[in-house]
Structure 1
Amino acid sequence: MKNLFSPFSLQKIMMASLLVVSSLLQAQNPKGKLFIIGGGNRSDDLMKQVLATAELNKKDYIVVLPMSSEEPDSAFIFFKTQMIKLTSNPIVMLNFTAATAQNKVLTDSVQKAKLIFISGGDQTRFMAVVNNTPVKTAIQKAYENGSTISGTSAGAAVMSEKMITGNQKLQKEYSGTFDNIRYDNLETSEGLGLLKTAVIDQHFLKRNRYNRLLSALVEFPDLTGIGIDESTAIIVRNNQIEVAGESEVIVVRNPKGVSKSKKNNLISIEKLEMSIYTAGQKFNIK
């Protein structure tokens, strides 16, 4: 039987395969970093760490995405007022709508930003604007190519692939915390997907959100649950995480012996790993 492929065509196929593998590896090991803040007050020292993590050059600029906020202009002004004391790099706001989310000039500006900051507010409001649009793709590509993506509160929640919305399926009215741990009660939706193996909760100790994060772990036992307190952050470099700021980060993972009660969807967990970290300490995720 004759060889169906010439040496030249085989070489092209091998090169194409290598490009696909290279692209997949880049997506799995992004060059960028995440600086995820749990909400609350952001000290100058904490924001200096954001800038140091981003490693801005003179020609680099910062993009603020305020779509989580009910008052995007105020969110931007608050951020810029603090940051102009700390850096001379340009700071611009891109407040996308359903229409402008398709604008290639604007989305290219997002992708080329060395630091992207996502404000607090409502994470579902943010994702309603960016999901399935070039904006989301631009954020992901910026991260893959070496940019730092930062966010606070709602801007923290959107970082993970499985995003906690804050709502309960079994309770119609919104509650800042969950009053118990029940199976199939936690509402999640699609986030930015920058963190594939962890789920983020914010304002964690301040608002006593243990039940909510444990509910997430019951739903997604293979993920690492990370609860970030106010004025505190995690810096993500691929699979290694470093804590920064004034309070603590709670990490829960590897639930064993999970079972569901027939009454009220209550659940039990026989074993669970839990760790508490403070500024400067590091841990790994899968």
Structure 2
Amino acid sequence: MRFPTPTLSALLLLTSQSTMASAADPVVGPVKGSLVVVGGGTLSDSIYQEVITRAKGGPIIVIPTADELPTYDQNAAGASSFRRLGASNVRVLHTYDPKVADTDAFIAPLLNASAVWFGGGRQWRLVDAYAGTKTEAAFKAVLDRGGVIGGSSAGASIQGSFLARGDTQTNQILVGDHTVGFGYLRNVAIDQHLLVRGRIFDMFDILKVRPELLGFGCDENTALVVDGDDAHVIGASYCAIYDGGFWSREGSDEKNLPPKDRIFYFLRAGDKYNLAARKVVE
């Protein structure tokens, strides 16, 4: 049977529909699933609860590898807090060996996971252990199934495409010998411990060499929660946004602002931000 040749108008309609579908996809955040990006420190129960709620009763896998202790028990890196708050299926999963991380046996607990939580430490250790392995792919698959990936401190920075403070010698080098994160947020660099450690100007070291990136950093016990390109702040303090613009609750007309390449602003709990538009949602 011969099928009729599509008309030009039909082809244009199909092309238009395809373009509209792809345009609807997030350009910065995950296409499916959600992220909880935490600035480190001692966390309120509400932040752990955010992950538990989004996991919808499914298994939560805790990854403590950034801390580089010799061994970890099943209470490491916040696992005990998840259990205390009612999560019944929590497992700590760890290796420093990328050969182990590339095995089917190691990734088995991740195959039905609804959440992954990365603990604090040094983010480059997560790269050395998991980048390019079946485990890294299994992390991403949790998002692709509609799950949640969260993390605090190093576990926040690893979620960006650019790995802030990824130097093996010192965390004071912003552009170090590891610069590629796991990329759940595309074209983004993420800092942490922002106010407590006086890091509010450090992001500019990254933006000098990678000015196209969107930068943000959260203070301790504060998180940016991301669904697609929609983000909002939860927690006790502030997240700083480095997008080349400025926003303030009282406007900016009468403010003496620095140049675009030295400017940032703060968002607090409840504030919303569109990652694709790089704009506060008022």
Give the whole-Å Cα distance in 2 for the aligned partners of 1:215 and 1:77.
33
Q: Given the alignment of the two structures, is residue 41 of structure 1 paired with residue 42 of structure 2, yes or no?
A: yes
User: 1:213-253 CA deviation, whole Å, 9 max, x = no partner?
Assistant: 01112222222110110111110111111101111000011
Could you tell me whether the CA contact under 8 Å between 1:27 and 1:144 is conserved in 2?
no
Give the whole-Å Cα distance in 2 for the aligned partners of 1:161 and 1:196.
5
> Structure 1 residues 22 and 69, CA, compared in 2 at 3 Å: closer, same or farther?
farther
What's the % identity of the aligned pairs? Answer: 24
Alignment of 1:204-243 (within 5 A): 204-243=194-233
Could you tell me whether the CA contact under 8 Å between 1:69 and 1:75 is conserved in 2?
no
Give the whole-Å Cα distance in 2 for the aligned partners of 1:189 and 1:227.
16
Secondary structure of 2:185's partner? coil
> Structure 1 residues 137 and 246, CA, compared in 2 at 3 Å: closer, same or farther?
same
Give the whole-Å Cα distance in 2 for the aligned partners of 1:109 and 1:51.
17
State the shift of 1:166 in Å. Answer: 4.6
State the shift of 1:150 in Å. Answer: 0.5
Secondary structure of 2:143's partner? helix
Alignment of 1:162-241 (within 5 A): 162-167=162-167, 174=170, 177=172, 186-187=175-176, 188-241=178-231
**Equivalence for 1:83:** 82
Give the whole-Å Cα distance in 2 for the aligned partners of 1:31 and 1:210.
31
Counterpart AA for 2:52: L
Instruction: Name the count of aligned residue pairs.
Output: 248
**Equivalence for 2:72:** 73
> Structure 1 residues 26 and 276, CA, compared in 2 at 3 Å: closer, same or farther?
closer
State the shift of 1:177 in Å. Answer: 4.5
State the shift of 1:23 in Å. Answer: 10
Q: Given the alignment of the two structures, is residue 136 of structure 1 paired with residue 126 of structure 2, yes or no?
A: no
Q: Given the alignment of the two structures, is residue 248 of structure 1 paired with residue 238 of structure 2, yes or no?
A: yes
Could you tell me whether the CA contact under 8 Å between 1:163 and 1:190 is conserved in 2?
yes
Could you tell me whether the CA contact under 8 Å between 1:66 and 1:76 is conserved in 2?
no
State the shift of 1:127 in Å. Answer: 0.5
**Equivalence for 2:52:** 51
Q: Given the alignment of the two structures, is residue 149 of structure 1 paired with residue 157 of structure 2, yes or no?
A: no
Give the whole-Å Cα distance in 1 for the aligned partners of 2:110 and 2:175.
32
Give the whole-Å Cα distance in 1 for the aligned partners of 2:82 and 2:172.
32
Counterpart AA for 2:141: K
Could you tell me whether the CA contact under 8 Å between 2:26 and 2:229 is conserved in 1?
no
State the shift of 1:140 in Å. Answer: 1.4
Give the whole-Å Cα distance in 2 for the aligned partners of 1:63 and 1:148.
11
Q: Given the alignment of the two structures, is residue 279 of structure 1 paired with residue 269 of structure 2, yes or no?
A: yes
Give the whole-Å Cα distance in 1 for the aligned partners of 2:175 and 2:42.
27
Could you tell me whether the CA contact under 8 Å between 2:52 and 2:87 is conserved in 1?
no
Could you tell me whether the CA contact under 8 Å between 2:200 and 2:240 is conserved in 1?
no
Secondary structure of 2:243's partner? strand
Aligned CA-pair RMSD: 3.1
In structure 2, runs of 5+ residues without a counterpart are 12-16, 246-257, 277-282
Counterpart AA for 2:44: S
Secondary structure of 1:30's partner? coil
User: 1:2-51 CA deviation, whole Å, 9 max, x = no partner?
Assistant: xxxx759x9xxx9xxx99x9999879652100001111001112211222
Runs of 4+ in 1 over 6 A off after TM superposition: 21-27
Secondary structure of 2:32's partner? coil
Could you tell me whether the CA contact under 8 Å between 2:101 and 2:134 is conserved in 1?
yes
In structure 1, runs of 5+ residues without a counterpart are 1-5, 179-184, 256-268
More relative contact order in 1 or in 2 (CA 8 Å, sep 6+)? 2
